[in-house]
Amino acid sequence: MELTARIHIEEGTYWADVPELPGCFASGDTLDELFESLQEGISLYLADEGGQGGPLHVATATLTDRPLTAA
């Protein structure tokens, strides 16, 4: 399964949302904390939706200071 995590920085804290999973988001004080929280949030979201759980892995992540725009 391939998912997109949009990563944001606000007031020194990181947060991310997953467009493919409406309402699924996570936050953390560091990127490591964010990725751990995001992995847990996605797993819980998929479990609630009856989807496939199991371990998730972050393949790539891009952090930018530019605003997100539609592709």
Query: Cα–Cα distance between 67 and 21 in angstroms, integer?
Result: 21
pTM comes to 0.68
Nearest CA among 6, 17, 13 for reference residue 42: 17
Question: What is the pLDDT, as a whole number, of residue 55?
Answer: 57
Question: What is the pLDDT, as a whole number, of residue 4?
Answer: 85
Mean pLDDT for the chain overall = 79
Query: Cα–Cα distance between 30 and 51 in angstroms, integer?
Result: 28
